[in-house]
Chain A
Amino acid sequence: MVSTRLLRPPEQVPDVTGYDVEKLREQFPILSREVNGHPLVYLDSANTSQKPRQVLDALSEHYERHNANVARAVHTLGAEATEAYETARVKVADFVGARPDEVVFTKNSSEAINLVAYTFANVTLGGGDPRFRLGPGDEVVISEMEHHSNIVPWQLLCQRTGATLRWFGITDDGRLDLSRLDELVNERTKLVSYVHASNILGTVNPTSVVIERARQVGALVMLDCSQSVPHMPVDVTDLGADFICFTGHKMCGPTGIGVLWGRRDLLEEMPPFLGGGEMIERVDLTGTTFAPPPQRFEAGTPPIAQAVGLGAAVDFLSDIGMDIVRQHERELTGYALEALQTVPGLRIIGPRENTWRGGTISFVLGGGSGSSPAIHPHDVGQVLDASGIAVRVGQHCARPTCVRFGIPATTRASFHVYTTTDEVTALVRGLEQVRKVFD
């Protein structure tokens, strides 16, 4: 029974023959930079993506021509800024197939996750919709492949409420282990929160089977889409989750802005997270009533220019087409998986097949049975940097995943729509250099 439920539908393959990555790269000023005397090879997009000219221009044009605070000024600039901010909300909503009033701007994905975690804490403490009430005996389910930002808020919440935190394991080939799905997600489960695309393994996780099970037991589902929304078509209606979050700076937008998407009926039942200006309806010294969502969750002056920049980023990605972005990265990933495995002693941590995975590849060098001693990722990254190659090394804010695979850290190469096969080749050559230094 379980195995048929876990079968994944095939992904559609769009035609990318007309896509010219070199031409696209001209729109990213930073990509023509040199680092340590070499052309920059930027393979750290899962950490943060680079920004195209039109995003940079949108930011400066906003500050140069339309800068004012939003939702309070009657003057022309205030109206323009408000219009720009709300237009960005509409663009972001369209990008993920959502209603604009379901899009809450946050600082980043971490804040979006904390917003939902504090909803549970606040309802538990102050009363409200029972779907958000937690206590001893209740369970929250995450997974072993989460970023710390999707672990720590739930640990804190469970400590405060007495609920129990549980998690899905990871299979040896880096997939979510759903073999105990029915046992892990049960009548006691109030929330399942897990990553759509892993920031360390590159795995793209199935959603419908988990969401279907959560529905059976009446649990809510949150998906951390920080590494999926920037790289593939994501539609909240198709996904069917209750909440998703993602962050602007990983999708060619600016830092300082993230998104919580929530189902409207849930957002309406949720108490405020942060208190302050613009999230209120009426304030008396004896008490306050609150604005409807999404404003209820956007206390204080929001990241206005960043929202405008994110709107421009969404336009940029939409103009390319997210299916093209996905296919470009898929082809690149296929090439990289093959090329990296030609490096002696290199072991990929995560799926080695190019299905249900994204363009984020973690690996370790050496240390396998019968090979040379492991070269620490920090050393790998340092030698690569001397050749202008930027990768991320360390635990990638996912220590439990490293522990699962018995490794202290990994080296991670991650791609985006502007990454080229030449850059992957440069990485492979760089790794040869690394081996020369340490072997």
Chain B
Amino acid sequence: MQIDALYQEIILDHYKRPKGRGLRDPYEAEVHHVNPTCGDEITLRVHLDEDEKVADVSYEGMGCSISQAAASVMHDLLRGKPLPEALRLHEAFSEMVGSRGQLAPDEELLEDGVAFAGVSKYPSRVKCALLPWMAFKDAAARAAAAAEVDVAVTQKGAVDG
């Protein structure tokens, strides 16, 4: 059945057993994002360590399986990554789910995140998958600003594959 392409086992697993859920201290920035079409909400905190690594992404929220699983997968992917690399992953994930099925997902880069490739064929669900990622991008920028890191500069020097 076609619907299996969307609701992959990985997504359902993360939905039923989310990783890293719950708001934790310390953090440099907290944001609250909503998806007004379906009422999904996420509160997300970012903690950067002294080396500008993403030491923690903690979150709390309510929403559909896609948005909840996306937050869980994102937590797994981003924790411990240098901020520029985390932002690069954000970009890669956004590109994949926005590609309407045209982009082959990079499994090495996105790991469990490639399970969301199926979402790209459901335009109404793209926003669900992106909700935690957009919240992360927002929070990361604020956290970086708080830590006086110039995100624009680090972003440019980011990509190394």
Do A and B belong to a common assembly? yes
CB closest chain-B residue, reference A394: B38
Question: Could you tell me the distance in whole angstroms from the C-beta of A47 to the nearest C-beta in chain B?
Answer: 13
Closest A-B pairs by Cβ, 5 of them: A378-B64, A376-B64, A386-B3, A409-B39, A408-B39
Verify if B125 is at the interface (C-beta below 8 Å from A). Answer: yes
B27 at the interface (CB under 8 A from A): no
Residue B65 at the chain A interface, CB threshold 8 Å = yes
Q: Do the beta carbons of B2 and A378 come within 8 Å of each other?
A: no
Q: Mark B85-111, 1 if CB is under 8 A from A, else 0.
A: 000000000000000000000000000
Q: Are A382 and B3 in touch, CB under 8 angstroms?
A: yes
Interface size on B, residues (CB 8 A): 21
CB<8 Å pairs between A and B, sample of 29: A36-B2, A376-B38, A376-B40, A376-B63, A376-B65, A376-B68, A377-B64, A378-B40, A378-B125, A379-B65, A382-B3, A382-B7, A382-B122, A383-B3, A386-B2, A386-B3, A393-B38, A394-B38, A394-B39, A395-B36, A395-B38, A395-B39, A399-B39, A402-B39, A408-B39, A408-B40, A409-B39, A437-B3, A438-B65
CB <8 Å contact, B64 and A379: yes
- Residues 215-263 (chain A) with a chain B CB within 8 angstroms: none
Which residues of B lie under 8 Å from residue A408 when comparing CB positions? 38-41, 62-63
B66 part of interface (Cβ distance < 8 Å)? yes
Contacts of B128 in A (CB 8 A): 378
Are A394's CB and B3's CB within 8 A? no
Are A378 and B62 interface neighbours, CB within 8 A? no
**Complex interface bits, B48-72 against A, C-beta within 8 A gives 1, otherwise 0:** 0000000000000011111010000
**Which residues of A have CB within 8 Å of B64?**
376-379
Query: Given the complex of chains A and B, what is the CA–CA distance between A409 and B34 in angstroms?
Result: 13
B83 nearest CB across to chain A (Å):
31
Interface residues in A376-401 by Cβ distance below 8 A to B read 376-379, 382-383, 386, 393-395, 399
Contact with A along B119-138 (1 / 0, CB 8 A): 00010010010000000000
Q: How far is the CA of A437 from the CA of B6 in the complex (A)?
A: 11
User: Contacts A378-B66, A382-B122, A382-B125; is A394 near B1 (CB within 8 Å)?
Assistant: no
B2 cross-chain contacts in A, Cβ below 8 A: 36, 386
B12 at the A/B interface (Cβ < 8 Å)?
yes
Residue among A379, A393, A395 with most chain B CB within 10 A: A379
Known: A408-B62, A438-B12, A438-B65. A378 touches B1 (CB 8 A): no
The answer to whether B122 and A378 have CB atoms under 8 Å apart is no
**Roughly how many angstroms separate A377 CA and B124 CA in the complex, as a whole number?**
13
Chain B residues with Cβ below 8 Å from A394 are 37-39
CB neighbours (8 Å) of B1 from chain A are: 386
A353-382 to B contact mask, C-beta < 8 Å, 1/0: 000000000000000000000001111001
**Closest residue of B by beta carbon distance from A378:** B64
Within 8 A of B (CB), among A255-285: none
Closest Cβ–Cβ distance, residue A316 to chain B (whole Å): 31
Query: Which B residue sits closest to A374, measured CB to CB?
Result: B62
> B127 CB to closest chain A CB, in angstroms?
10
Q: Name the CB-closest residue of B to A380.
A: B64
Q: A118 to B36, alpha carbons, bound, how many Å?
A: 26
For B36, B39, B62, B65, which residue has the most chain A Cβ atoms within 10 angstroms? B39
Rounded to whole angstroms, the CA-CA distance of A399 and B36 in the bound complex is: 9
> How far is the CB of B53 from the nearest CB of chain A, in Å?
33
**Closest Cβ neighbor of B7 among chain A residues:** A437
Residue of B nearest to A439 (CB): B16
Question: Complex Cα distance A408/B35, Å?
Answer: 11
Asked if residues B38 and A377 are in contact (CB atoms below 8 Å), the reply is: yes
Chain B residues within 8 Å of A409, by CB? 38-39
| B interface footprint on A309-322 (CB within 8 Å = 1, 0 otherwise) | 00000000000000
Min C-beta distance of B147 to chain A, whole Å: 33
By a CB distance below 8 angstroms, the chain A residues around B66 are 378-379
- Beyond contacts A386-B1, A394-B37, A399-B39: 10 other A-B pairs, Cβ-Cβ < 8 A, are A376-B40, A376-B63, A378-B66, A382-B7, A386-B2, A394-B38, A408-B63, A409-B38, A437-B12, A438-B65
Name the residue of chain A whose CB is nearest to the CB of B15: A438
CA distance A408 to B63 in the complex (A): 8
- Give the CA-CA distance A131 to B90 in the complex, in Å: 56
Closest Cβ neighbor of A384 among chain B residues? B3
Interface centre among B3, B36, B63, B125 (most CB of A within 10 A): B3
Smallest CB–CB gap between B52 and chain A, Å? 35
| Binary per-residue interface labels of chain A (281-320) against chain B in the complex, 1 for a CB within 8 Å, 0 otherwise | 0000000000000000000000000000000000000000
Residue of A nearest to B3 (CB): A386
How far is it, in angstroms, between the C-alpha of A217 and the C-alpha of B156 when the chains are bound?
Answer: 66
Q: How far is the CB of B1 from chain A (nearest CB, A)?
A: 6
> Which of A36, A382, A394, A437 counts the most chain B CB atoms within 10 A?
A382
**B contact residues around A377 at 8 Å (CB):** 38, 64
Q: Within the assembled complex, what's the spacing in Å between the Cα atoms of A378 and B68?
A: 12
CA distance A393 to B124 in the complex (A): 11
Distance, CA A5 to CA B6, complexed state (A): 53
- Residue-wise interface mask of B (1-32) relative to A, using a CB-CB cutoff of 8 A (1 in contact, 0 not): 11100110000100000000000000000000
Whole-angstrom CA separation of A395 from B37 in the bound complex? 7
Distance from A426 Cβ to chain B, minimum over Cβ atoms (Å):
16
